[in-house]
C-alpha cells in the first residue's frame, strides 16, 4: 500500500470515529434533555419524577397519562415498532394537551420537539385538568392524576 492510500485510509477511519463520537454525545445529550423535561411533565400530571430516567418505563407511563395502553411501549423493541409506539404516543399527547387546555396545533410541537412540549406543559403556569379529557369524549388517563384503576 502506498503512502497516499495509507493516508487516505487513516483520514477515512478518523472521520468514522469522530462521526460515531459526535453521534454518541448528541444521543446522550438528547436523552438527558428529554428526561429532564419529562420530570417536570410527570410531576405536573402526578407520575413519580424518577420514572423519566428509565427508558422504556418512561414511555410506558407517558402513554398511560395519555389514556393509552402502556404496553405499546414494548412494541418499540421490535424493529420499526417505534413508529407504531409513536403513533399511540401522539394520540396520547393530543389527549394530554386537551387536559392542559391546548388546541390540536400544540400537538405539532409535541411531534417535532417533544422535549419542548414536555417543558411547556411541566411549567409552573400550566394547569392540568384531567377531567377535560373525559369531557372531550376520550377515556381517562391510566396513570397520574385523574387515573381510573384498570381491571
Q: Report the number of secondary-structure helices (H) and strands (E) in the chain.
A: 6, 0
Other residues' Cβ atoms within 10 Å of the Cβ of residue 145: 16
* pLDDT tens readout for residues 23-54: 999 999 999 999 999 999 999 999 999 999 99
* pLDDT tens readout for residues 46-94: 999 999 999 999 999 999 999 999 999 999 999 999 999 999 999 999 9
Checking if the pLDDT of 150 tops 80, the result is: no
pTM greater than 0.85: yes
Cell of residue 105, nine digits: 396545533
Amino acid at each position: 500500500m502506498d503512502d497516499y492510500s495509507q493516508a487516505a485510509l487513516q483520514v477515512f477511519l478518523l472521520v468514522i470515529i469522530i462521526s460515531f463520537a459526535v453521534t454518541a454525545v448528541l444521543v446522550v445529550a438528547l436523552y438527558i434533555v428529554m428526561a429532564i423535561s419529562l420530570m417536570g411533565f410527570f410531576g405536573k400530571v402526578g407520575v413519580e419524577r424518577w420514572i423519566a430516567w428509565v427508558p422504556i418505563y418512561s414511555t410506558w407511563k407517558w402513554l398511560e397519562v395519555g389514556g393509552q395502553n402502556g404496553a405499546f411501549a414494548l412494541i418499540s423493541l421490535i424493529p420499526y415498532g417505534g413508529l407504531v409506539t409513536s403513533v399511540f404516543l401522539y394520540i396520547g399527547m393530543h389527549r394530554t394537551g386537551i387536559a392542559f387546555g391546548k388546541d390540536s396545533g400544540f400537538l405539532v410541537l409535541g411531534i417535532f420537539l417533544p422535549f419542548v412540549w414536555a417543558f411547556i406543559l411541566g411549567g409552573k403556569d400550566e394547569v392540568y385538568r384531567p377531567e377535560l379529557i373525559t369531557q372531550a369524549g376520550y377515556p381517562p388517563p391510566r396513570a397520574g392524576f385523574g387515573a381510573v384503576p384498570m381491571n
